[in-house]
Chains A and B, each alone.
Chain A
């Protein structure tokens, strides 16, 4: 039973560039949430996707956007990268969007130079 998989694991970008991160949820899960974790901090909620729609959004600018595909996989896009976007981006999957247990991937570590 495959867990949550994320790609890439590490990437380096420069300011102003754009990045796309990918996530495949745990088998049987239909909901994907994205979190940003800065160094030394706890994860911060970016948004959640369910039935291919953004169901809820956290306090992040419009430079952060996402998508969910019919197979429930998801992408996180960040435009016009800033130094402050450097962080670990975590994808979490769940069933039906409940706020019970979340299953996290290993994350994508983004460094913006």
Chain B
């Protein structure tokens, strides 16, 4: 079963705008990760945030984590056409062992 749920399912913005994607999950976690996937190809790791962290930055990416609300957000600033992809959150849930639980993803379209 998929623990994470991304919102919105699809997002369309213009270059230069910011894109925000949200992820909600159900059980306690060790960490939460965001991945990107271009056109049904392999996933690329973007950022990992641990359960005791509240915010993390990497380049144009900003991730927040609210464990009390069991939610996370991914902000991509100054979006580019090359950011067009699907974005997935994945949770390392406590008691789930070595499996990552992925959501269904947010499809982001950035138009020039």
Q: Are A40 and B45 in contact, CB atoms less than 8 angstroms apart?
A: no
CB distance from A22 to the nearest CB of B (A): 15
Contacts of B104 in A (CB 8 A): 40-42
Contacts of B43 in A (CB 8 A): 43, 90, 92, 102, 104
Contact with B along A22-49 (1 / 0, CB 8 A): 0000000000010101001111110010
Q: Are A42 and B2 in contact, CB atoms less than 8 angstroms apart?
A: yes
CB distance from B62 to the nearest CB of A (A): 18
Interface size of B as a range: 20 to 34
A50 and B105 CA atoms in complex are apart in Å by 28
A42 and B4 CA atoms in complex are apart in Å by 9
Contacts of B18 in A (CB 8 A): none
Q: Are A102 and B45 in contact, CB atoms less than 8 angstroms apart?
A: yes
CB distance from B51 to the nearest CB of A (A): 12
Q: Any chain A CB within 8 A of the CB of B48?
A: yes
Contacts of B92 in A (CB 8 A): 99
Closest to A101 in B: B45
Contact with B along A54-79 (1 / 0, CB 8 A): 01101100000000000000000000
Contacts of B90 in A (CB 8 A): 42
Q: Are A107 and B42 in contact, CB atoms less than 8 angstroms apart?
A: yes
Selected from B48, B99, B105, the residue in CB contact (under 8 A) with A48 is: B99
Contact with A along B74-85 (1 / 0, CB 8 A): 000000000000
Q: Are B98 and A48 in contact, CB atoms less than 8 angstroms apart?
A: yes
Contacts of A37 in B (CB 8 A): 40
CB distance from A36 to the nearest CB of B (A): 11
Selected from B2, B42, B48, the residue in CB contact (under 8 A) with A105 is: B42
Selected from A44, A56, A103, A105, the residue in CB contact (under 8 A) with B45 is: A103
Contact with A along B27-70 (1 / 0, CB 8 A): 00011010100001111110010000000000000000000000
Residues of B within 8 A of A (CB): 1-2, 4, 30-31, 33, 35, 40-45, 48, 88, 90, 92, 97-105
